[in-house]
Amino acid sequence: MQTARENIEKALIKNHIIQDIDDIIGLQEIEHSYSNYVYIVNTKSGEYFCKYAEPRTKKSYISEPVSDRLKYEFEAVSLIQKYIKNTVKIPNIFFYDSDYCVLCTEVVPTWYELLSDLLLAGKIYKNIWIKLGESLGHIHAATYGIDTSLLSDKTCLKKIRIPLTYSNMWASQEIQKMIDLLSEDLIKNEICIVHSDFKPNNIFVDKNGQIIIVDFEFSHIGDPAAECWFFIGIYIHYIFAYPEKKYEYFRVISDFWEAYKRTFEKAWEKWFEKRVVQHTGVQLLVRLDGAIKFPSSQDDDNLKQLFRSAAEKIICWKIATLWVMQKLFN
């Protein structure tokens, strides 16, 4: 069986990026990827960002095998770039090779930092949250009502995303029934193109507030409300690591949400925010008790119980707005 490096090398030769292996000066593996084997490849002609996907994700958790995940990323990025017309920065794709399961893109410039690293270091740059809300809103607004046949495959959603974020967590029978209904909505609702993994690990920022969004392999035509909860829920969980910054993180959520609504007018509808809040409750539970626990979720039992209680109230439709939801954590 060929290794990730061997597949990347052969794909680069096949797609005329290099003539032979001797043109490669170095390969640096990026360790933070959960799904794929990712390398920055330095060649005589320049640097390239290469992803290799095996059928099962690298850190498999509970997901089922999906052999052509990177094909969905290639199709999604191609569509998004066609519709958004440079309003959102996404690395350009050089090629996708289905024979070797390799996607090759531009390298993110070195002066950009991964947002998750900044947050775990306790840094909150006030000038980027509005930009994040606007960028996500631009993608949703530009592709609203798009022909669903253009990006119809939801294999990654069904086999990876939903098993990771809507199942295998501690929950009462009543709560699990609500969670199951929400996961069914994710499959059924087809409103616009969604990234479906819009989190700090997939967002690069610079000190001027410019952002680059990466990793679109879970993208499909789906539910934008679920996209927002994923982002908001993760930020609420950073309170575990930095409880003293609680109000700063709530300010982040507010700035993001208001910018998003200004850019995507459908978010003003009452049903939309209510569903964002409800899905956020699921995100809180999965980060406490599910397959992708937040690193600090084991440290404080009292805080953990506060979050679990808040999540259950949110999931059961008892909270209708993000502003009211924040009061549960005071």
- Total length of the chain: 330
Domain boundaries in the chain? 4-105, 113-327
Question: What pLDDT score does 11 carry?
Answer: 95
Question: What pLDDT score does 325 carry?
Answer: 65
Residue 182 CB contacts under 8 Å (≥ 6 apart), including other chains: 166, 278, 279, 282, 315
Residue 19 CB contacts under 8 Å (≥ 6 apart), including other chains: 13
Q: So what's the architecture of 4-105 in CATH?
A: 2-Layer Sandwich (3.30)
Q: How far is CA 212 from the centre of its chain?
A: 13
Q: What's the whole-model pTM score?
A: 0.87
Alpha-carbon gap, residue 90 to 211, rounded angstroms? 9
Question: What pLDDT score does 299 carry?
Answer: 60
Question: What pLDDT score does 128 carry?
Answer: 85
Question: What pLDDT score does 62 carry?
Answer: 46
Pairing of strands 93-97, 102-105: antiparallel
Start-end of H helices in the chain:
4-14, 69-84, 115-120, 129-142, 155-156, 162-165, 173-188, 224-241, 246-263, 270-289, 301-315, 322-327
| Tokens matching residue 11 | 């794909």
Per-residue pLDDT of the chain (330 residues; tens, 9 = 90+): 578 899 999 999 999 999 999 999 999 988 766 678 899 999 999 999 999 987 666 555 545 556 678 888 999 999 999 888 777 899 999 999 999 999 999 999 999 999 888 877 777 677 788 899 999 999 999 999 999 888 888 888 888 788 877 876 667 788 888 888 888 988 899 999 999 888 888 999 988 888 999 999 889 999 998 888 777 777 776 766 677 777 777 888 888 889 999 999 888 777 788 888 888 888 878 777 766 666 554 566 777 777 777 777 777 766 566 666 666 666
CA atoms within 13 A on the CB side of 98: 6
Homologous superfamily (CATH) for 113-327 = Aminoglycoside phosphotransferase (APH), C-terminal lobe (3.90.1200.10)
Q: Taken in order 196, 197, 200, 205, is the CA torsion positive or negative? A: negative
Whether 113-327 and 4-105 are alike in CATH topology: the answer is no
Q: What is the pLDDT of residues 6-54, one digit of tens each?
A: 999 999 999 999 999 999 999 998 876 667 889 999 999 999 999 998 7
